Amino acid sequence: MLCGTLWRNARLATMVGAGIGVVEDGMVAAKDGRIVYAGPSPGAVFTAECTVDLGGRWITPGLIDCHTHLIHGGDRAAEFEQRLAGASYEEIARAGGGIVATMRATRAASEAELVESALPRLDALIAEGVTTVEVKSGYGLSTADEAKSLRAARALGMRRDVGVTTTFLGAHALPPEWAGDADGYIAHICDAMLPAIAAEGLADAVDAFCEGIGFSPEQVARLFAAAQRHGLPVKLHAEQLSNLHGARIAAQHGALSADHLEWLDAAGVAAMAASGTIATLLPGAFYVTRETKLPPVDALRAAGVPMAVATDCNPGTSPMTSILLAMNMAATCFRLTVDECLRGVTVNAACALGLQDRIGTLEPGKACDLAIWDIERPAELIYRIGFNPLHQRIRNGR
């Protein structure tokens, strides 16, 4: 069979089956941007236009960061200093800082400025082998500013060779114009913002922040019903700072993922297991907020809830642009295994975006998105801190 590129003499972590699907003497063949073979050498007989001998390097699927807030104006370094001096994240938020401070900076920025300021963050992820990134809005909090943010997110995918999926997070915080009327703001999102954003095709999913400083489960349920009327899948920031039983609402709506989950209880785990909702763990936010409550990883594992791992890159609780560090923190802080960390940024992250048919594993028919690593064993990707062993990143076979 004639193929475009053949990578041979490689070790593969295919992510197929349980574990990470190791193939010790493997090869990957690509044609027209897709994988046509990934498995043991010699496998099928290929004639390739280009053959690359990887000298025993490891190939994983291109990494997927399935939860980021890459698009935002400004930064919150001053709040970081306030927190170092003793203020809590919730105190700062209630005093008009936090998400609303970033909202002001985001509203003040043009679409082009939002793109330019996000590119260095995106480039940091790309440099670590990320080939797909999810980007949320949620710092505009008006129709025009949310649409601007989502257009900026889509533009990132045109400025760089990376897959971008967009998530509308209008229900991230209550903007000042709606102070005291969260129900009114949710109705406005359902009746005006979401229809406008859906009509322009700007969002691939809808998310909300279910929290005392965010929105109640009842409000989230109204939003999710509206999202489903527009045919959009849903995700939820749930049980991050307290247990409002948001994961149950997410599960009831067949959410792709529920994210954070430090305060998730047994009933929430069971609901997620029943609905097939992915648990996206965000150890960067756990670390930055100095959370001590651990997500119920043992219970999630026992219930068979697939776990994803992401950076949550945002200016407040996770100013982190390293997916490798997110894996390290998931292992060290949350006790995920090496295999769980790797599945968390590949196959399970693909599921959290509803893209499991296109990316996330090394399998024929999937996009040929690869990360090629200068390592001897996969654990090195997770064990080192601040070290990047990426040899090469391949997207769509190139």
Give the one entry of Fe ion, ligand DI6, none that residue 291 binds, where binding means its C-beta sits below a cut-off of 5 to 8 angstroms depending on kind: none
Residues that bind ligand DI6 (CB under 6 A): 98-99, 102, 172, 209, 237, 240, 285, 312, 314-317
The smaller minimum CB distance to ligand DI6, of residues 102 and 348, is found at: 102
Give the one entry of ligand DI6, Fe ion, none that residue 209 binds, where binding means its C-beta sits below a cut-off of 5 to 8 angstroms depending on kind: ligand DI6
Q: Peptide bond before 319: cis, by omega within 30 degrees of 0?
A: no
Shortest spacing between CB 92 and ligand DI6, in angstroms: 9
The smaller minimum CB distance to Fe ion, of residues 320 and 394, is found at: 320
The token duo for 128 is 């670590």
Name beta bridge partners: 10. Answer: 26
Give yes or no for residue 312 binding Fe ion (CB under 5 A): yes
Considering only the stretches 246-254, 273-281, 312-320, 389-397, report the one whose residues sit in contact with Fe ion under the rule CB under 5 A: 312-320
Shortest spacing between CB 314 and Fe ion, in angstroms: 6
Read off φ and ψ for residue 9, nearest 5 degrees. Answer: 55, 50
Map residue 116 onto helix, strand or coil. Answer: helix
Map residue 144 onto helix, strand or coil. Answer: helix
Q: Measuring CA to CA, which residue among 65, 62, 64 is closest to residue 14?
A: 62
Q: What whole-number distance in Å separates Cα of residue 206 and Cα of residue 354?
A: 13
Shortest spacing between CB 398 and ligand DI6, in angstroms: 34
Which 8-state DSSP code applies to residue 177? G
The smaller minimum CB distance to ligand DI6, of residues 240 and 277, is found at: 240
Considering only the stretches 16-24, 145-153, 159-167, 305-313, report the one whose residues sit in contact with Fe ion under the rule CB under 5 A: 305-313
The smaller minimum CB distance to ligand DI6, of residues 79 and 339, is found at: 79
The smaller minimum CB distance to Fe ion, of residues 312 and 339, is found at: 312
281-163-157-225 Cα dihedral, nearest 10 degrees: -60
Shortest spacing between CB 185 and ligand DI6, in angstroms: 15
> Cα angle at 171 between 168 and 177, to 5 degrees?
120
Give the one entry of ligand DI6, Fe ion, none that residue 240 binds, where binding means its C-beta sits below a cut-off of 5 to 8 angstroms depending on kind: ligand DI6
Shortest spacing between CB 79 and ligand DI6, in angstroms: 9
The token duo for 133 is 């990134």
Give the one entry of ligand DI6, Fe ion, none that residue 145 binds, where binding means its C-beta sits below a cut-off of 5 to 8 angstroms depending on kind: none
Shortest spacing between CB 116 and ligand DI6, in angstroms: 20
The answer to whether the beta carbons of residues 363 and 16 sit under 8 Å apart is: yes
Q: Measuring CA to CA, which residue among 26, 86, 80 is closest to residue 363?
A: 26
Q: What whole-number distance in Å separates Cα of residue 224 and Cα of residue 207?
A: 8
Give the one entry of ligand DI6, Fe ion, none that residue 68 binds, where binding means its C-beta sits below a cut-off of 5 to 8 angstroms depending on kind: none
